[in-house]
Amino acid sequence: MLKQNELSEISSGEPINHFLLLTKFEEKTTRAGKSYLDLELGDKSARLSAKMWDNIHQVKNYLEAGIVVKVSGTMDTFNDQFQIKVEKIRTVKSDDNVEVEDLMPKSSRDLGEMKKELNGFIEGINEKHLKQLIKLVLSGDHLDKYLKVPAGKAWHHAYVHGLLEHTLEIVKICDLMCGFHPELNRDLLITAAILHDFGKTEELSTNATFDYTDKGKLIGHIVIAAMHIENKAKEVEGFPEDLKNELIHLVLSHQGKLEHASPVEPKTVEAIALYHADELSAKTNAYKQAVYSEKVGESNWTRFLPLAGTSLMIPKQNNEEEFNETLF
């Protein structure tokens, strides 16, 4: 069992003597012509920029993104952001007994509990074609990836099992909305909520860097999911064409706006509900993680977050345990 303080617990000026994930690595040159290493290092709690200024030629040839390294240095700040000043770095040895999985961020929710919830929602779908479709899509290797892959590379639910956690949040929001508005087609909406981000099983990798795959970059998770639904629906005898088109519409429109990469905008009440459920889950998680990981010094505000368009206030009464809780 790896025992070391998490990066989020270390203040500026304190020493670093940690095993960390190397998630980015590049040799750069200063204006004065001096070479240095520009790195990104992380653990379960945070990913931070890092710089190594001296003796880089002794180490650069055996470094690569996605490996565990032992780092000695100091926690520093630059432009109001934490940054690690690396003095020494090496790859792990077999007797270090450290694996990549030990340092990868994971959902704080129990996987078995989440799987049970997912299966409960699937079995609760009454429309036989939709239930059969979900079981065809979520099978074999695709199911394994669906349970493991993050929901995003960096912005929200960016950790192992993140897609499953994000999906269950959305399903529960949609289920709640069906209670408020019984006119909604619950079976359709819950099915779409379960499958809306299925394409991320092929868009994102499950390695330490959570990189985008070639297919993900070329096609994107929304279209990937729509293609799978189209193909698997053909295997379901008598699948109604109108129902299939409505389901695919919900998937294609779930990011709400064309400028947000949705091929179409929501045109049904169910699509509107799914879009806003997705927004609520994603932004609440992203802002929560930012409040937890982007604190600057002793301030009760985060740094300016470009994706949020603002800095965020850190409530003084909150602590780490509260930030580790999920939306549900």
- Extents of the domains making up the chain: 7-102, 111-287
Classify 22 in phi/psi space as left (phi over 0), alpha (psi -120 to 50) or beta: beta
Which residues are CB-contacts of 231 (< 8 A; sequence separation ≥ 6)?
none
Q: What pLDDT was estimated at residue 307?
A: 72
**Phi and psi dihedrals of 84, rounded to 5?**
-95, 130
3-class secondary-structure state, position 246: helix
Q: What pLDDT was estimated at residue 176?
A: 97
Instruction: Single out the residue of 169, 144, 173 nearest to residue 273, CA to CA.
Output: 173
Q: What pLDDT was estimated at residue 220?
A: 93
Q: What pLDDT was estimated at residue 277?
A: 97
Which residues are CB-contacts of 256 (< 8 A; sequence separation ≥ 6)?
262, 265, 266, 275, 276, 278, 279
CATH for 111-287 (3.10.590, 1.10.3470, 1.10.3210, 1.10.10): 1.10.3210
Q: How far apart are CA 198 and CA 256, in angstroms?
A: 17
What does the block give as tokens for 231?
A: 């193909």
Q: What pLDDT was estimated at residue 328?
A: 45
Q: What pLDDT was estimated at residue 323?
A: 47
The DSSP secondary-structure symbol of 309 reads: T
Burial class (CB within 10 angstroms; exposed 0-12, middle 13-18, buried 19+) of 78:
exposed
Instruction: Single out the residue of 33, 80, 75 nearest to residue 51, CA to CA.
Output: 75
Q: What pLDDT was estimated at residue 297?
A: 56
Q: How far apart are CA 246 and CA 249, in angstroms?
A: 5
| C-alpha to C-alpha distances, 33 to 53, 61, 80, 142, 153, nearest whole angstrom | 12, 20, 26, 48, 33
Instruction: Single out the residue of 128, 167, 129 nearest to residue 146, CA to CA.
Output: 167
Answer yes or no: are the C-beta atoms of 250 and 244 closer than 8 Å: no
Residues in the chain where the model's pLDDT stays below 70: 1, 293-298, 317-328
**Phi and psi dihedrals of 71, rounded to 5?**
-120, 135
Domain 7-102 grouped into CATH 3.40.50.720: no
Answer yes or no: are the C-beta atoms of 254 and 263 closer than 8 Å: no
**Phi and psi dihedrals of 98, rounded to 5?**
-125, 130
